[in-house]
Amino acid sequence: MADTNLPDATDKVIAGAAATEREEELIVTEPTATRTKLADKVRTGTDKLSTQAADKARGLVGQGLERGSEAIGNVGKLIGDTASGLDERIGKEYGDYARKAASTLDDVSAKLAKKDADELIEDTRAFVKRSPGVALAGAAIVGFALARLVKTGLDSGRDDRD
C-alpha cells in the first residue's frame, strides 16, 4: 500500500485518509452549497429587516401626519381667534388677512389628515422630481434648523451641569 507519490517527510498513508470519489465530490460541492444556503439566509434576513424598517417608517410618517395636521389646525385656530383683535387694533384689512390665513391653514390641516403615509411619500417624490432645487433648499433649511435645535439642547445641557 506504499505510494511513491507521497509528500516529503511522509513515509506511509494513514488508513482512512484517502478520499473516495464520492467524498472528493462532496468536498468540492459542499462549500458551494453552504455558501448558497448562507446567501439565501442573508437575503431572507435582509428582506425581513427592510420590510420591518419600511413598516416602522410608515408608522412614524403616519404619526407625523397626525401631529402635523393637529399643529397646523391649532395655529389656524389661533390666527382665526386673533382676527377680531386685529380688526379693532390695526384695521379690518389685517383681520381679513388673518382670517384668510386661518382658512388656508385649516384646509391644509384637513388635507393632511386625509392622507396616509404612502400618499405623502408619493407626493414628496413627485415634488422632488418637479422641483429638485426647492427640495434641496428646503432640506438644507430643515437640516440647519435641526442642527441649531440639537446644538441649543447640548448647550443647555452643559449650562445645567455648570
Q: What is the pLDDT of residues 60-93, one digit of tens each?
A: 877 888 888 888 888 888 888 888 888 888 888 8
**79 burial type by CB count under 10 A (0-12 exposed, 13-18 middle, 19+ buried):** buried
For residue 129, the model assigns a pLDDT of 93
For residue 2, the model assigns a pLDDT of 47
The grid cell for 151 is: 446644538
**Domain-embedded: residue 98:** no
**Domain-embedded: residue 158:** yes
Amino acid at 32: T
Cα–chain-centroid distance for residue 43? 20
Which pTM does this prediction carry? 0.47
CB atoms closer than 10 angstroms to residue 98: 21
For residue 130, the model assigns a pLDDT of 93
Q: What is the pLDDT along the chain (162 residues), one digit of tens a residue?
A: 444 565 666 666 565 555 565 555 555 555 566 777 777 777 888 878 888 888 888 788 778 888 888 888 888 888 888 888 888 888 888 888 888 888 888 888 888 888 887 887 788 889 899 998 988 898 899 888 888 888 887 666 665 555
Q: How many domains does the chain have?
A: 1
Q: How far are the Cα atoms of 31, 39, 62, 87, 101 from residue 36, in angstroms, in the given order?
A: 9, 5, 39, 75, 61
**Domain-embedded: residue 27:** no
The grid cell for 149 is: 435645535
23 three-class SS:
helix
Identify which of 100, 107, 125, 118 has the alpha carbon closest to the alpha carbon of residue 69.
107
CB 72 within 8 A of CB 105: yes
**Domain-embedded: residue 161:** yes
CB atoms closer than 10 angstroms to residue 105: 20
**Domain-embedded: residue 141:** yes
Residue 140 belongs to what domain range? 131-162
**Domain-embedded: residue 157:** yes
**Domain-embedded: residue 89:** no
**Domain-embedded: residue 29:** no
